[in-house]
Structure 1
Amino acid sequence: MKKSLIVLTVLLLALSLALAGCASDGKQAEGEKPADDGQKAKPVEWVANSVWPPNNHQSVALQAFADKVKEATDGQVTLSVKTGGALGYKGPELLKVVRDGLVPVSDMLTSGVAGDEPLFGVVTLPFLVQNHEEAKLLNEIARPYFDKVAEEKWGQKILYVSPWPAAGFWTKNEVKSLADMEGLKMRTYDKNGALVVEAADGTPYPLPFSEVYSSLATGVIDSVLTSTPTAVDAKFWEVLDYYVPVSVTQATDLVTVNLDEFNKLDAETQEKLINAGKEMEAKAWEDVAKLDAEKEALVNEKGITTLKPSQEFLDELSTVTEQIRQDWLKDAPPEAQEIVAKFKEEVGR
């Protein structure tokens, strides 16, 4: 009997201590902040890859994004930007590189990874867009489709999309109509560009960029399909006379993060990262328009005349390249056809 009382006393004492502990745990000490339910992630540092040179506007934008993310997250997330292909990855493989976690964040040419994800090729269909505003509209229409395929198929989240200046014609003679393009010997840099020149009765020359200047100087070619920054880099004013801003295509870059890495962040930090991406994307489209204008003004100052294309000329180019777009769409994902249909409805073409 005495032994039983001792055991009962010990049990009651233990229960009392346990209840006291629970009560203590349930109380918030004076001045103590509410807990974050254990969801607050530890600070992380991600490598952010770019194949472009350090002074390229895409690399500059990526570093600006890194600064924005660090500030927005109070150092919770930092990006260590590596430019110039320093990590050894090639452009076309970057979708797989991020998916496989070989690098957590990367900038990649949208059309450059279209070999792995055909949907991404829709942004560079020739003469689908006719100016910078239309290129921005196409991106806005395509973005939900891109987000879905990136997350569900490729295990990554698109943080922002950054454009390149549009590609136009750089020529020795005036080109104001489709008839003026007949017989042009034009340097091109991809399959679509070559198809465009052929459709306009010219001859495409897929030359390496390093051979462009000498080929112009010696008459091997008499024109080039490219953007304003490239024209400045190559000093086209020394060998060419005219620029026709026809917006053959306007390429974009995707900046993505591995989804597993993104999901390790707490919800608040994720939202801050997404908002930083939205701000960066809006700024990138504004900055590229300014960059394009600045480079065009520079070549004009150096002696190249800009020939603003008439709507009739743009319509001619759109008509003769229609088959190129249709051929691509035949084998493209259904989502691409939806994107193009929505875009055409918006612009009334």
Structure 2
Amino acid sequence: MQKHVKSKPFLFLFSLILTTFFIVPSFSFSADKIKIKLAHTVPTSHAYHKGYVKFKNLVAERTDGRVEVTIFPQGTLGGDVQAADSVQMGIAQMALTGTFALYDYNPKWALLDLPYFFNDYEDVDTIINGPIGEELLSESVGNAYVLGFMENGFRHVSNNARPIKTLEDMKGLKIRTMKAPVHVSAFEALGASPTPMPFGELYTAMQTGVVDGEENPPSLFYTMKFYEVQKYFSLTRHVYLSGLTMINKNFFDGLPADIQTAIQESFTEAAAYQRELVRQDDAEKIEMLKKKLQVNSLPDSEIVRFREATQSVYSDWEGKIGKDFLERASKAINR
């Protein structure tokens, strides 16, 4: 299970605390109704939202309606960082967040952000469904747990300057990244100029030229209509993007055992469903993107160069992630 980030805008959180204090009682629930606020940052057409709707329905079914989940999509309760902070503080009970939100609590989570660590989804499944995944989920993260693994797929680079065909094409490009230190280091190693910024600001930043491009999976890129403000989409597959669902520790620990089990089992089933949606959608969205902008693949020989260029990231993070943990994870996928 999980936890998170360093406080973000103080005024935002302070006002949120005051609003919650006066309007929403803390974790009070009657014997017949337990209410959960679940926050995420993507549109309702995205696989994340569909996965959460599946979770909502499953947990209601398993508890005979005792658990009522209300989903707040598309950043209604703030961005990834703010939503994660809200769960830590007990303002929301559950939220979607990225691995970077957990680094301060457990640096092992940075494993999932290492560039070119996973070759394919088979590698991903070996890690998240095996001992390494179990080890990550076994520890609380601050005042939260991580229920399990959803995903956004493999990320690719888009931009307005040129198609990425060689490592040299990355040089100098201003690429928006998540606020994940591993991602920032990876793009620096590739010769680009990483520019972390909130996801909600990205469309306008590309439209106005604040950044040249971004890096996201095909499904999210298409859903957000980034093709309207980008010319090139290059299939770099440079990093896998896991989506983690936090649940407030005090809230979860205070639930009856049968409700805890229902929540965990419902989420595990919904997460598997969500991951399958993403994987089915990848190829379809790439074909759809070809009608919107220029899409290109990179030869295996060039992917090797990208991988070699990012090896410094492994050296920098080995001590934080833990040499033994990294070696065990690498061995599990014959890396």
| 1-structure distance, mates of 2:230, 2:331 | 41
| 1-structure distance, mates of 2:312, 2:306 | 11
Distance 1:201 1:94, change over 3 A: closer
Q: Which of 106, 109, 112 lines up with 2:98 in the alignment?
A: 109
| 1-structure distance, mates of 2:59, 2:303 | 41
The residue matched to 2:305 in structure 1 has which SS? helix
Distance 1:206 1:282, change over 3 A: closer
Corresponding position of 2:38: 49
| 2-structure distance, mates of 1:99, 1:238 | 35
Corresponding position of 2:205: 211
Q: Which of 231, 235, 243 lines up with 2:221 in the alignment?
A: 231
Q: Which of 47, 61, 69 lines up with 1:79 in the alignment?
A: 69
2:227 corresponds to which letter in structure 1?
F
Query: What's the CA shift for 1:163?
Result: 0.6
Query: What's the CA shift for 1:287?
Result: 1.0
1:292 corresponds to which letter in structure 2?
D
Q: Tell me which structure has the larger Cα radius of gyration.
A: 1
Q: Which has the higher helix share?
A: 1
1:182–1:200 Cα contact (<8 Å) kept: yes
* 1:179-194 paired onto structure 2 within 5 Å: 180-181=168-169, 183=171, 185-190=173-178, 191-194=181-184
2:299 counterpart of 1:299? no
Corresponding position of 1:341: 327
Corresponding position of 1:10: none
Q: TM-score under structure 1 normalisation?
A: 0.72
Q: Which has the higher strand share?
A: 2
2:174–2:193 Cα contact (<8 Å) kept: yes
| 2-structure distance, mates of 1:254, 1:202 | 27
2:207 corresponds to which letter in structure 1?
Y
Query: Highest relative contact order (Cα 8 Å, sep 6+), 1 or 2?
Result: 2
2:177–2:214 Cα contact (<8 Å) kept: no
The residue matched to 2:240 in structure 1 has which SS? coil
| 1-structure distance, mates of 2:108, 2:256 | 31
Task: Give deviations 1:300-334, integer Å, cap 9, x for gaps.
Answer: 13352331x333322222211111122022233x3
The residue matched to 1:306 in structure 2 has which SS? strand
The residue matched to 1:248 in structure 2 has which SS? strand
2:144–2:248 Cα contact (<8 Å) kept: yes
Corresponding position of 2:266: 276
2:38–2:69 Cα contact (<8 Å) kept: no
| 1-structure distance, mates of 2:176, 2:70 | 35
* 1:1-349 paired onto structure 2 within 5 Å: 42-55=31-44, 56-87=46-77, 91-92=80-81, 94-95=83-84, 97-141=86-130, 142-150=132-140, 154-170=142-158, 173-178=162-167, 180-181=168-169, 183=171, 185-190=173-178, 191-204=181-194, 209=202, 210-215=204-209, 221=212, 224-232=214-222, 233-236=224-227, 239-241=230-232, 243-307=233-297, 309-332=298-321, 334=322, 337-349=323-335
| 1-structure distance, mates of 2:332, 2:67 | 38
| 2-structure distance, mates of 1:346, 1:125 | 15
| 2-structure distance, mates of 1:158, 1:196 | 25
| 2-structure distance, mates of 1:206, 1:78 | 35
> Alignment length, in residue pairs?
296
Task: Give deviations 1:88-108, integer Å, cap 9, x for gaps.
Answer: x55335555434433322222
| 1-structure distance, mates of 2:83, 2:227 | 32
| 1-structure distance, mates of 2:191, 2:90 | 46
Query: What's the CA shift for 1:86?
Result: 3.5
| 1-structure distance, mates of 2:262, 2:80 | 28
1:46–1:105 Cα contact (<8 Å) kept: no
Q: How large is the Cα RMSD of the aligned pairs? A: 3.1
2:153–2:217 Cα contact (<8 Å) kept: yes
Structure 2 gaps, min length 5: 1-29
1:170 corresponds to which letter in structure 2?
S
Query: What's the CA shift for 1:249?
Result: 1.7
| 2-structure distance, mates of 1:99, 1:194 | 25
| 2-structure distance, mates of 1:156, 1:203 | 33
Determine what percentage of the aligned residue pairs are the same residue. Answer: 15
1:315 corresponds to which letter in structure 2?
V
1:163 corresponds to which letter in structure 2?
E
Distance 1:140 1:186, change over 3 A: farther
1:49–1:103 Cα contact (<8 Å) kept: yes
Structure 1 gaps, min length 5: 1-40
1:274 corresponds to which letter in structure 2?
Q
2:239 corresponds to which letter in structure 1?
T
Distance 1:280 1:186, change over 3 A: same
